[in-house]
Amino acid sequence: MRLRSNSIWSRAIVGVVLAWFVVVIVAYYAVYKPLGFAQINALRDLALILLGWLSAVALANLLGWAVFRKFPNLASAERMSLQIGLGFGIIATGGLALGLAGAASEWLLWPLLLLSLPISLYRLRRDLRELRRPSNRWLAIFVGLALVLIVIRALAPPTAWDSLV
In one-letter notation, the amino acid at residue 76 is: S
Please measure the distance between the N-terminal and C-terminal CA atoms of the chain and give it in whole angstroms.
46
* Structure confidence by residue, pLDDT tens digits, 107-150: 888 888 888 888 888 888 888 888 766 567 778 788 889 998 98
Closest CA to 58 of 107, 5, 121: 121
pLDDT of 50: 86
Q: DSSP readout, 80-106?
A: HHHHHHHHHHHHHHHHHHHHHHT---H
User: Residue range 23-51: average pLDDT?
Assistant: 82
pTM: 0.59
Q: Is the pLDDT of residue 100 over 80?
A: yes
Q: Contact 83/61 with Cβ under 8 angstroms?
A: yes
Residue spans of the domains in the chain: they are 45-132
* Structure confidence by residue, pLDDT tens digits, 61-90: 999 988 887 777 877 778 888 889 999 999
Q: What is the rounded (10 degree) CA torsion for 50, 96, 110, 105?
A: 120
- Report how far Cα 160 is from the mean position of its chain's Cα atoms: 29
Q: What is the rounded (10 degree) CA torsion for 29, 31, 33, 35?
A: -30
Provide the H-helix boundaries in 32-74: 37-68
